[in-house]
Chains A and B, each alone.
Chain A
């Protein structure tokens, strides 16, 4: 069954330090992977995605994520954290219930439970 795991409920990092928010996945075909961010009292915002190509994907606000097929991971990273990065981060994978790369018109995403990132000044 398709699934996404974010093993850390909370990540704390000092401002200016590098940050990593972890995500591992399980899918039957090639994964389509996403990161979203939710700031307090706001809806979700798209950060970046991996569909194919380079394993290192660059996204919004200076974030990047590294796709690692052997470890089935898609960790979110940023070289230097800002206090304003404090938010809830969600990893997601596109559902491929029938396996393979094309699940027809189904665009449902399977979500991790989220990781709360706190950047301390």
Chain B
């Protein structure tokens, strides 16, 4: 079975550019999470969706960040405009009803903003 699929694996961009990260959760999972990981702050929850509806976006740093989940099999995290301090690894994770705290992570997107 395919796990959580994220793209791209690596993204290098210049400050001010728009960045879009993509995630396909495990089929049948109805919760999707976006995390950001840095050495300084560890893994931080940015936003999570349940049945495609954003439930808690209090972790989204600022208005430059936005996330969507148009259907059960696809989500995006967009940063516009990007800044060097956004450089991090962004993980998407999914889980299923009844076991919602058992997260399955994608391989992550390594974002570098120059």
Q: Are both chains from one complex?
A: no
User: Which B residues have a C-beta under 8 Å from some C-beta of A?
Assistant: none
User: Which A residues have a C-beta under 8 Å from some C-beta of B?
Assistant: none
